[in-house]
Amino acid sequence: MELYDYIGGEVAIRSIVETFYPKVLAHPALAPIFPDDMGPLMEKQFMFLTQFFGGPPLYTNTHGNPMMKARHAPFPITPERAEAWLACMRSTLEEVIPSVETRAMLLERLKGPAYFFINTEEAAGSV
């Protein structure tokens, strides 16, 4: 069984995305690098996480190769922002995923990309 199915498939991924982004927009270190209109970004994140956790390749079918490092390159992603992103995700998973073990597994899987996207030590204008 794929992780996608194990956590609840489309319903779980939608819930994660819808719970996560208000936290991101409320976070002082993260909000400045996100757009005002979060709808398109949330849909892309839904498609990406679906694929990332073993579901249908929605992101690739719609947008091509994820090339996530390149897509994040225009934004100053610092170690602080990677940690903030993970903290928002940790809080989200606590709300959405009942199992402590499953939350830990999902968060561990997301740590790799979060740290991989770091592209600067300090944000412009510093946060």
Interval 56-104: pLDDT, tens: 999 999 999 888 888 888 899 999 999 999 999 999 999 999 999 999 9
Q: Comparing 44 with 127, which gets the higher pLDDT?
A: 44
Domains in the chain, please, with CATH?
3-116 (1.10.490.10)
Please give the pLDDT value at position 71.
85
DSSP secondary structure letter of residue 32: G
Q: Report which residue type is found at 10.
A: E
Dihedral (Cα; 104, 109, 112, 118), 10-degree rounding: -70
Please give the pLDDT value at position 48.
96
Please give the pLDDT value at position 126.
44
Please give the pLDDT value at position 1.
78
What sign does the CA torsion over 13, 49, 59, 76 have? positive
Please give the pLDDT value at position 57.
97
Cα 11 from Cα 29, distance rounded (Å)? 29
Please give the pLDDT value at position 67.
86
Crossing angle (nearest 10°) for helices 100-116 and 79-96: 160
The alpha helices in the chain, defined as continuous H runs, are 3-7, 9-26, 39-52, 58-63, 68-72, 79-96, 100-116
Cα 122 from Cα 101, distance rounded (Å)? 33
Tell me the pLDDT tens digit for each residue of 10-45.
Answer: 999 999 999 999 999 999 999 999 998 999 999 999
